[in-house]
Amino acid sequence: MSKLRIGLLYGGRSVEHEVSITSATSILEALDSKRYDITLIGVDQEGRWHSGPGDRDPGRLLEGAAATAITERAGEDSSTEVLLPAAPVGDTLVPADSSAALSAAELDVIFPIIHGRGGEDGALQGLLELAGVAYVGSGVLSSAMQMDKDVAKRLLAAAGLPVVPWLTFKGHDLLPERIPDTAARGIAELGAPLYVKPANSGSSVGIHRVENRDDLVEAIRDSSRYDSKVLLEQSVDAREIEVAVLGNDSPQASLPGEIRPRSAFYDYEAKYQDDATELIVPAEISQEQSDQVRELAVRAFRTLDGAGLARVDFLLARDGGALYINELNSLPGFTSVSMYPRLWEATGLPYSELLDRLIELALERHEQREALVTKYEGSGGSEG
């Protein structure tokens, strides 16, 4: 049996660039080299794609690419700037400079592990669809829905799933002179304290917890720098429970885990710089609560049309035990110590088998899409 050709796509322009490199490094180490031929595709901070063989390390490939760009010593380094043609032409990657040494590469599956905007918001998935290549994870619409906190909450709420009461503001409500008014409306309708979030962000960038109107005005100003849509949400004094979902048509939920940040909330530093953030796997909650979060996680995944994987994050109120779906992450952190793979590990699926499964699911979904009728074939009766 010939090996599957996997493109491991990582890096990207978001604040989560470094996390993505760490995820890619773990994935590269765990992918079975007897089954897969791996091509690294690193996206630099400027958004350029660089490719090189999978025997290099993902961080060095991008460093090498940067050094090549600075010294213009192309050829000495084994990475090449590449493009992914937005057409199903057979070659998945072509050299950006047609005189480059690297020839075009054909890939069977792309494993994108680029977090945040441009990576998990549907944009990249659209390019991969146009290229006609199988890829790990949710499609265009689902990725976009999972990324947009306003759209996600509307759809979850419409499906009868529990979300924290919220309001969304955009357009003239976010004009500098109108923000004090917007803040007053927010407090009047939702009370305080409140969370303020850009609709599309990630890694807690632009997110604030505020107690009063003056701080709310400042928080809305800041959040609106990151997105043209801003959410205000009631703040719930809650434990943070996370569930990993895996599958396409029959998604399964892992055991739940809990994150216990040391800081006031799980902000950017707590996530990526503070090793003291505790991950408790499995979460110490009752069997009944565990069953409930797992069921809600699968329903949320289905509601947002997820494919492959997602991490579903919950807030579990300390007082009264109410559960709320906080958000879905379509391409969660994937280092070997990240919550998503750890939850599967605890549920009986080791890291490298989880990767095999994700690749199978990508191929399965691709085949299903390829089999769809894309042009009118008549009403079935013979003509004449």
Ligand X SMILES: Nc1ncnc2c1ncn2[C@@H]1O[C@H](COP(=O)(O)OP(=O)(O)OP(=O)(O)O)[C@@H](O)[C@H]1O
> Looking only at residues 33 through 92 of this chain, which bind ligand X when binding is defined by CB under 6 A?
none
Can residue 211 be called a binding residue for ligand X (CB under 6 A)? no
CB of 195 to ligand X, least distance (A): 4
Q: Which is nearer to ligand X, 80 or 326 (CB)?
A: 326
Position 285 contacts ligand X (CB under 6 A): no
| Distance of alpha carbon 256 from alpha carbon 246, whole angstroms | 13
Task: Considering only the stretches 17-25, 245-253, 326-334, 362-370, report the one whose residues sit in contact with ligand X under the rule CB under 6 A.
Answer: 326-334
**Quick check: 103 and 62 in contact, CB under 8 A?**
no
Q: Counting contacts by CB under 6 A, is residue 10 touching ligand X?
A: no
179 or 205, CB closer to ligand X?
A: 205
240, 274, 356, 360: which one binds ligand X (CB under 6 A)? 240
Residues 82-101 that bind ligand X (CB under 6 A): none
* One-letter-per-residue 3-state SS of the chain: CCCEEEEEEEECCCCCHHHHHHHHHHHHHHCCCCCEEEEEEEECCCCCEEEEECCCCHHHHHHHHHHHHHHCCCCCCCCEEEECCCCCCCCCEEECCCCCCCCCECCCEEEECCCCCCCCCCHHHHHHHHHCCEECCCCHHHHHHHHCHHHHHHHHHHCCCCCCCEEEEEHHHHCCCCHHHHHHHHHHHHCCCEEEEECCCCCCCCCEEECCHHHHHHHHHHHCCCCCEEEEEECCCEEEEEEEEEECCCCEECCCEEEECCCCCCCHHHHHCCCCCEEECCCCCCHHHHHHHHHHHHHHHHHCCCCEEEEEEEEEECCCCCEEEEEEECCCCCCCCCHHHHHHHHHCCCHHHHHHHHHHHHHHHHHHHHCCCCCCCCCCCCCC
Contact 292, 255 (CB under 8 A): no
As a whole number of angstroms, the distance between CA 126 and CA 141 comes to 9
233 binds ligand X (CB under 6 A): yes
Q: Is 235 in the site for ligand X (CB under 6 A)?
A: yes
Asked if 232 touches ligand X (CB under 6 A), the answer is no
State which residue, 77 or 313, has the beta carbon closest to ligand X. 313
Residue closer to ligand X (CB basis): 220 or 238: 238
The whole-angstrom separation of Cα 267 and Cα 254 is 24
Of 51-59, 236-244, 352-360, 366-374, which part binds ligand X (CB under 6 A)?
A: 236-244
CB of 265 to ligand X, least distance (A): 4
Instruction: Give the residue closest to ligand X by C-beta.
Output: 266
**What distance in Å separates the CA atoms of residue 338 and residue 71, rounded to the nearest whole number?**
36
The CB-of-33 to ligand X minimum distance in angstroms stands at 31
Q: Is residue 226 close enough to count as binding ligand X by CB under 6 A?
A: no
236 binds ligand X (CB under 6 A): yes
Rounded least distance, CB 377 to ligand X, Å: 42
Cβ proximity to ligand X, 94 vs 147, nearer residue: 147
Q: Which of 309, 327, 351, 361 binds ligand X (CB under 6 A)?
A: 327
- Report the distance separating Cα 200 and Cα 123, nearest Å: 13
Question: Contact between 238 and ligand X (CB under 6 A)?
Answer: yes
Count interface residues toward ligand X (CB under 6 A).
Answer: 21
How near is the Cβ of 236 to ligand X at its closest, in Å? 4
Q: Which is nearer to ligand X, 234 or 248 (CB)?
A: 234
Which residues, numbered 163-202, are part of the site for ligand X (CB under 6 A)? 164, 195, 197, 201-202
Q: What does the alpha-carbon distance between residue 10 and residue 23 come to, in Å, rounded to a whole number?
A: 8
* Of the candidate residues 78, 204, 277, 289, the single one contacting ligand X (CB under 6 A): 204
Interaction residues for ligand X, span 115-174 (CB under 6 A): 164
Answer yes or no whether residue 207 interacts with ligand X by CB under 6 A: yes
- Closer to ligand X by CB, 264 or 372: give it: 264
Q: Applying CB under 6 A, which residues contact ligand X?
A: 164, 195, 197, 201-204, 207, 233-236, 238, 240, 265-266, 313, 315, 326-327, 329
